[in-house]
Amino acid sequence: MKKVCACAVLALFLFTGCASFLPNGFIYTNVDTGVAAGPGTISYSKVGTAEAQSILGLVATGDASIKTAAKNGNIKTIKYVDYHAESILGVVGKYTTTVYGD
């Protein structure tokens, strides 16, 4: 019985990954990635950010939308967007969207 339980737990960790556009680490995640870029040059005069947090993977709050980040930076024309995710053991997570533009 103990072997069956151990195999079930091992299979749970090995075969139940979540599909994500970001690489996720089970123990620690600290990832930056580009989300979108507009046409033209990559020069900008303003930066805006928006954040969301998660606790225990059970509760998530905040608004990390591109719209909110652009509003926070008073950006009317978006040049490009970056995304940052940081998580420790899935216990606490912080997710930041950064918008660059004019």
| pLDDT tens, position by position, 11-61 | 545 444 555 556 667 788 888 888 877 777 778 889 999 999 999 878 999
Q: Which residues contact 98 (CB under 8 A, 6 or more apart)?
A: 47, 48, 49, 69, 81, 82, 83, 84
Residue 37 host element (H or E): strand 28-37
pTM of the shown model: 0.73
Share of the chain above pLDDT 90, in %: 43
pLDDT at 95: 94
Q: Is the model's pLDDT at 4 over the cut of 70? A: no
Q: How many angstroms separate the CA atoms of 78 and 76, rounded? A: 6
The more confidently predicted of residues 94 and 14 is: 94
Tell me the domain boundaries of the chain. 21-101
